[in-house]
């Protein structure tokens, strides 16, 4: 397998053979297993590990060195709750070796899911240098720049000659998270410049770092939100970004692979919020767990729905006199809900991409409302004609049509403004989920509809 | 400004001073403008350009060389329709120079928005080599691997000694899109291996490329969907991926910055679809344009809503006898719509991340339905109690509660299955947008509710 060229294209669904690997492992063909497994890409190794049962995972820990396991643990993605049990199946010294051989940032990500007690015992078993670095990183909040950075970067004195710098890079290459972006510091370890390995390679041999570095360094503060960091790195097309404290001391770097995860997380968060689910990506949950996760929301919505029902109940007289009014409840509440969700989506997206400034966000919200009014008018005109043709009731048609226009205008206003206002008040905009907006719009649109209908009751009879 | 160290953190909202730049330009302080502008990062340059009016843009073309403009045009993001007008403001020879100095993939992205005639005239003015490369890239579909790849990569013969390879990289560094991933080819230009610049740097001087390259190359076919490429690159943590034809000939590379754009696009697409808007990111549209974009959908929904209204109209007798039934229309249709949207979100996400296989997707859909039934039961029990307490009508309560349970179960089934079935039938799942599912669920839930109510009418009177 190893001697011939093998180009793997995207169409090859299974780039590894799980059955073969399992067999080799269970039938004790350790050498063959190792050869087969270690020629796989670390991502494939991690996929194989994720797909394997405990028995296989146990065997893997028996036949691979901590370093070999660390290589693919860097890409491991299992449920957060599973880590404690997984690390219980390794003996403590092996586990601590695995963690110290991983990238610090990834080791920290995993350790954040372990119990305090476990963390302490693992740190004690690590070599002192690694333990110190990991301990420091464990202190940062998970969703800040500090929480996703690693300390395995290459930094050089700004006064170093290029020739010496290249030697340095070569030496540090095996351990650094990236060697393609190099940071220049002064004697106080303050960040003063940045250069790419490309700059270094094409530089004249007698130049110094400070001659070729860029002094306009875009950096993140260690406490910055990971979302802001992701946005900046995407804007600037960075493959690595330095993280500093308030005195510009270089503390670590964030690399593009971590940013991909952040972008994914954030997109998934916005998306889940719009749908009113807590986590759209939890595909392994059981029926009960899925139901339990959604229930709090659905129960709140049931109570909110009861408000709508109570309002409608208070119009029982109106309804019993003109029962046909009920027929248009779904269309009015539905259209108001739909246009509200559309505007909500635009607003939330504008907040989270941060691409436009505060003032423009409100301008967009106003534009949404205007567009809600315009579309409302058009849909209302269509509805009016249909009602006249089907039921020959022009007054009913006018009431339904005006209600629809007002409900859609208010719907878009609610949908676009609520997240903006919440964001401004620093309230978690998670409350402004799609179903919540829809239910609010139900209440508002029913009040409008039956308010109008009751006022013009005499014309309807 | 240039001599002192300047660390820019994320909090600095405006890293450039638009007023100052505008003034320098309009008052003809060309040298100062150039110094100020050219020390800015290309991303900031592109932001400044995007924020500027035509008059300023015109001046920029007068004081910057095509190469200087090309540098920040690589990061330019304006509306697709604007490019034709923008290129009309440059003289043709200047425009063609800008394009040939850009990365080929970015030049092609821009040219895809120009008229055929304009493209031909620009290609004629370019130098032959660049024109040939760009022409070749223009042939690929925009959302395939070919459409986002560039041909400015570094490839070396597998038989080359490491020492010679390093010289080669150094030579090609200024023009290559990335020098950090290097591709090894055989005499037929077929891709046979891949190595990182890091591998090359830490290799023994007397080694050959084929000794240190990895022969397990993960590549994309030129016709592969850009989404699949993005997924693979994210999985494998690649910063560049080779693109080949069916005979493994290396055609180009895709770099991580292009992938970030693709991921963004795709997430935005799923999100927009859930909200039922065509493009959530078009923040510059006018009120009328926004309304016009949304109207086709809203009109379809109006007609679908009329189906619900007609169904309810046919139950006019039932409604006029028990007007209170109308009070629970919004809660039943709303909850069924909400749970449908939640399941829709999960299904669409599972389709688009491609992380689970076909069979699991249907398993997830079944789990969704089960969870819809469970949550329906709980919400129904709550609703039943409220109705008994508020209205002392246990029969009405039972009818509403059973309708809610059935409607939520069917709602989740519809929400999770429709996108899967559409995907299987190769129908564009855009039709399965949030509002569409909600409206379908309106119809279904009202049929259930009034079906039940009419059947048990005698107990209600």
Q: Which of B192, B288, B345 has its CB closest to that of A277?
A: B345
Banded model confidence at residue A142, pLDDT cuts 50, 70, 90: confident
Banded model confidence at residue B7, pLDDT cuts 50, 70, 90: low
Whether B267 has a pLDDT exceeding 50, the answer reads: yes
Banded model confidence at residue B281, pLDDT cuts 50, 70, 90: low
Q: Where are the alpha helices (DSSP H) in A219-357?
A: 226-236, 256-275, 287-314, 316-321, 329-353
Residue in chain B closest to A225 (alpha carbons) equals: B10
Q: What is the token pair recorded at A230?
A: 């992701």
CA of B20, closest CA in chain A: separation in Å?
18
Q: What is the token pair recorded at A325?
A: 């009014």
Is A316–B329 a contact, with Cβ atoms under 8 angstroms apart? no
Is B248–A7 a contact, with Cβ atoms under 8 angstroms apart? yes
Concatenated DSSP letters for A330-393? HHHHHHHHHHHHHHHHHHHHHHHH--S-HHHHHHHHHHHHHHHHHHHHHHHHHHHHHHHHHH--
Q: What is the DSSP letter of A222?
A: T
Whether A284 has a pLDDT exceeding 70, the answer reads: no
Banded model confidence at residue A126, pLDDT cuts 50, 70, 90: very high
If we measure between CA atoms, which residue out of A89, A137, A93, A75 comes closest to residue A111?
A: A137
Q: Mutation target for B interface from A210, A327, A343, A364: give the one with most B CBs within 10 A.
A: A327
Is A9–B368 a contact, with Cβ atoms under 8 angstroms apart? no
Residues of chain A found within 8 Å of residue B8, distances taken between Cβ atoms: 216-219
Please, which residues bridge with residue A60 across strands?
none
Assign domain A18-148 to its CATH architecture.
Alpha Horseshoe (1.25)
pLDDT of residue B175: 84
Counted across chains A and B, CB pairs separated by less than 8 A come out at: 401
pLDDT of residue A1: 35
**How many CB atoms are closer than 10 A to CB B370?**
18
pLDDT of residue A33: 94
pLDDT of residue B5: 45
Is B286–A367 a contact, with Cβ atoms under 8 angstroms apart? yes
What is the arrangement of strands in the sheet containing B191-196, beginning at the earlier edge strand?
Answer: B155-157, B181-185, B191-196
If we measure between CA atoms, which residue out of A203, A150, A196, A197 comes closest to residue A177?
A: A150
CA of B93, closest CA in chain A: separation in Å?
29
> For chain B, what is the radius of gyration of the CA atoms?
30
Assign domain B287-460 to its CATH architecture.
Orthogonal Bundle (1.10)
If we measure between CA atoms, which residue out of B56, B67, B73 comes closest to residue B111?
A: B73
Q: What is the DSSP letter of A78?
A: -
pLDDT of residue B376: 94
Q: What is the DSSP letter of B16?
A: S
Give the CATH superfamily of B155-264: CBS-domain (3.10.580.10)
Please, which residues bridge with residue B334 across strands?
none
pLDDT of residue B12: 54
CA distances from A210 to A157, A193, A197, A241, A320 (A): 9, 8, 14, 19, 84
> Average pLDDT for residues A81-96, to the nearest whole number?
92
Average pLDDT, chain A: 88
Whether A95 has a pLDDT exceeding 70, the answer reads: yes
List of residues 6+ apart from B198 with CB closer than 8 A: A173, A179, B180
Strands B191-196 and B216-221: unpaired
CA of A343, closest CA in chain B: separation in Å?
8
**How many CB atoms are closer than 10 A to CB B349?**
24
Please, which residues bridge with residue B190 across strands?
B249
Q: Which of B290, B309, B346 has its CB closest to that of A327?
A: B309
Please, which residues bridge with residue A254 across strands?
A241
Is B313–A306 a contact, with Cβ atoms under 8 angstroms apart? no
Please report the residues numbered 3 through 22 in chain A whose beta carbons come closer than 8 angstroms to any beta carbon of chain B. 4-11, 15
- Residue burial B66-88, b: 16+ Cβ < 10 Å; e: rest: bebbbbbbbbbeeeeeebeebbe
Is B319–A302 a contact, with Cβ atoms under 8 angstroms apart? no
> Average pLDDT for residues A92-100, to the nearest whole number?
94
Task: Please give the backbone phi and psi of residue B214, each rounded to the nearest 5 degrees, phi first.
Answer: -95, 130
> Average pLDDT for residues B6-16, to the nearest whole number?
57
pLDDT of residue A413: 93
Tell whether A381 is within 8 A of chain B (Cβ): no
- In percent, the amount of chain A with pLDDT more than 70 equals 93
Whether B258 has a pLDDT exceeding 60, the answer reads: yes
Whether A18 has a pLDDT exceeding 70, the answer reads: yes
CA of B94, closest CA in chain A: separation in Å?
26
Concatenated DSSP letters for B78-93? --TTHHHHHHHTS-HH
pLDDT of residue A111: 94
Q: Is A244 helix (H, G, I), strand (E, B) or coil?
A: strand
Please report the residues numbered 113 through 142 in chain B whose beta carbons come closer than 8 angstroms to any beta carbon of chain A. none
pLDDT of residue B336: 92
Residue in chain B closest to A317 (alpha carbons) equals: B323
Q: Which residue has the tokens 């999770």?
A: B416
Spans of all domains in chain B: 18-148, 155-264, 287-460
Is the Cβ–Cβ distance between A61 and A87 less than 8 Å? no
Q: Is B14 helix (H, G, I), strand (E, B) or coil?
A: coil
> Average pLDDT for residues A448-453, to the nearest whole number?
93
CA of A378, closest CA in chain B: separation in Å?
8
B406 vs B270, more confident: B406
pLDDT tens digit sequence for A227-271: 889 988 988 889 999 999 999 999 999 999 888 888 888 777 778
Whether A354 has a pLDDT exceeding 80, the answer reads: no
Least confident among A90-99, A179-188, B339-348:
B339-348
Tell whether A431 is within 8 A of chain B (Cβ): no
ipTM of the complex: 0.76
Residues of chain A found within 8 Å of residue B76, distances taken between Cβ atoms: none
> Average pLDDT for residues A206-213, to the nearest whole number?
94
Please report the residues numbered 290 through 319 in chain B whose beta carbons come closer than 8 angstroms to any beta carbon of chain A. 290-291, 294-295, 298-299, 301-303, 305-306, 308-310, 312-313, 316-317, 319
> For chain A, what is the radius of gyration of the CA atoms?
30
CA of A120, closest CA in chain B: separation in Å?
31
pLDDT of residue B210: 94
Is B349–A179 a contact, with Cβ atoms under 8 angstroms apart? no
Whether A92 has a pLDDT exceeding 80, the answer reads: yes
Tell whether B232 is within 8 A of chain A (Cβ): yes
Is the Cβ–Cβ distance between B453 and B460 less than 8 Å? yes
Q: Which of A173, A229, A374 has its CB closest to that of B287?
A: A374
- In percent, the amount of chain B with pLDDT more than 70 equals 93
Whether A280 has a pLDDT exceeding 70, the answer reads: no
Q: Which of B7, B302, B326 has its CB closest to that of A217?
A: B7
- Phi-psi sector, B200: left (phi>0), alpha (psi -120 to 50), beta: alpha
Residue in chain A closest to B433 (alpha carbons) equals: A338
Banded model confidence at residue A5, pLDDT cuts 50, 70, 90: very low
CA distances from A137 to A106, A131, A409, B39 (A): 10, 10, 50, 34
Tell whether A174 is within 8 A of chain B (Cβ): yes
Is B287–A367 a contact, with Cβ atoms under 8 angstroms apart? yes
Tell whether A185 is within 8 A of chain B (Cβ): no
Q: Is A115 helix (H, G, I), strand (E, B) or coil?
A: coil
A42 vs A17, more confident: A42
CA atoms within 13 A on the CB side of B91: 5
**How many CB atoms are closer than 10 A to CB B281?**
17
pLDDT tens digit sequence for B322-362: 888 999 999 999 899 888 888 888 888 777 766 667 777 78
Whether A3 has a pLDDT exceeding 50, the answer reads: no
Q: Which of B2, B248, B446 has its CB closest to that of A330?
A: B446
Strands B181-185 and B191-196: antiparallel
Is A5–B170 a contact, with Cβ atoms under 8 angstroms apart? no
pLDDT of residue B264: 80
If we measure between CA atoms, which residue out of A378, A450, A455, A453 comes closest to residue A409?
A: A378
pLDDT of residue B2: 38
Tell me the C-alpha distance between A293 and A277, whole Å.
8
> Average pLDDT for residues B138-160, to the nearest whole number?
92
If we measure between CA atoms, which residue out of A9, A4, A39, A41 comes closest to residue B186?
A: A4
Is B275–A345 a contact, with Cβ atoms under 8 angstroms apart? yes
pLDDT of residue A14: 56
- Phi-psi sector, B103: left (phi>0), alpha (psi -120 to 50), beta: beta
Tell me the C-alpha distance between A174 and B201, whole Å.
10
Task: Please give the backbone phi and psi of residue B81, each rounded to the nearest 5 degrees, phi first.
Answer: -70, -15
Q: Which of A285, A298, A309 has its CB closest to that of B379?
A: A298
Strands B6-9 and A250-255: unpaired
Q: Which of B6, B10, B344 has its CB closest to that of A220?
A: B10
- In chain B the first and final C-alpha atoms are separated, in Å, by 85
Q: What is the DSSP letter of A414?
A: H
Residue in chain B closest to A340 (alpha carbons) equals: B275
């Amino acid at each position: 397998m190893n001697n011939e060229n093998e180009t793997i294209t995207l169409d090859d669904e299974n780039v590894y053979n799980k059955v073969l690997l399992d067999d080799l492992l269970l039938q004790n063909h350790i050498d063959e297993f190792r050869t087969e497994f270690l020629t796989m890409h670390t991502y494939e190794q991690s996929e194989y590990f994720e797909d394997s049962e405990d028995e296989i995972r146990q065997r893997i820990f028996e036949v691979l060195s901590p370093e070999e396991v660390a290589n693919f643990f860097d890409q491991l993605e299992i449920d957060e709750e599973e880590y404690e049990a997984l690390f219980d199946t390794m003996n403590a010294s092996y586990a601590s070796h695995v963690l110290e051989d991983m990238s610090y940032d990834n080791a920290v990500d995993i350790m954040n899911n372990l119990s305090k007690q476990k963390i302490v015992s693992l740190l004690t078993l690590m070599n002192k240098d690694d333990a110190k670095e990991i301990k420091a990183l464990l202190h940062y909040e998970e969703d800040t720049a500090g929480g996703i950075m690693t300390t395995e970067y290459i930094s050089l004195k700004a006064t170093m000659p290029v020739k010496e710098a290249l030697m340095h890079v070569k030496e540090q290459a095996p351990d650094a998270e990236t060697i393609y972006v190099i940071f220049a510091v002064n004697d106080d370890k303050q960040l003063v410049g940045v250069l790419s390995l490309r700059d270094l390679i094409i530089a004249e041999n007698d130049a110094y770092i400070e001659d070729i570095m860029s002094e306009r360094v875009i950096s993140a503060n260690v406490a910055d939100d990971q979302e802001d960091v992701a946005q900046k790195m995407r804007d600037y097309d960075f493959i690595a970004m330095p993280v500093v404290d308030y005195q510009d001391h270089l503390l670590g770097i964030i690399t593009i692979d971590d940013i991909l995860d952040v972008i994914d997380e954030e997109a998934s968060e916005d998306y889940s919020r719009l749908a009113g689910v807590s986590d759209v990506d939890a595909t392994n949950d059981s029926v009960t767990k899925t139901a339990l996760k959604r229930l709090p929301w659905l129960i709140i919505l049931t109570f909110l729905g009861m408000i709508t029902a109570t309002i409608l109940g208070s119009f029982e007289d109106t309804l019993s006199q003109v029962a046909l009014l009920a027929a248009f409840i779904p269309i009015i509440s539905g259209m108001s809900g739909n246009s509200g969700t559309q505007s909500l989506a635009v607003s939330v997206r504008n907040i989270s991409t941060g691409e436009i400034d505060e003032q423009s966000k409100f301008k967009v919200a106003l534009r949404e409302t205007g567009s809600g009014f315009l579309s409302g008018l058009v849909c209302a005109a269509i509805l009016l004609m249909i009602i006249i043709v089907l039921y020959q009731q022009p007054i009913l048609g006018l009431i339904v049509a005006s209600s629809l226009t007002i409900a859609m205008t208010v719907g878009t206003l609610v949908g676009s403004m609520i997240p903006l206002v919440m964001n401004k008040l620093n309230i978690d905009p998670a409350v402004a989920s799609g179903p919540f907006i829809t239910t609010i719009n139900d209440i508002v649109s029913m009040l409008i509809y039956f308010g109008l209908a009751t006022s013009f009751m005499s014309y309807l009879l």
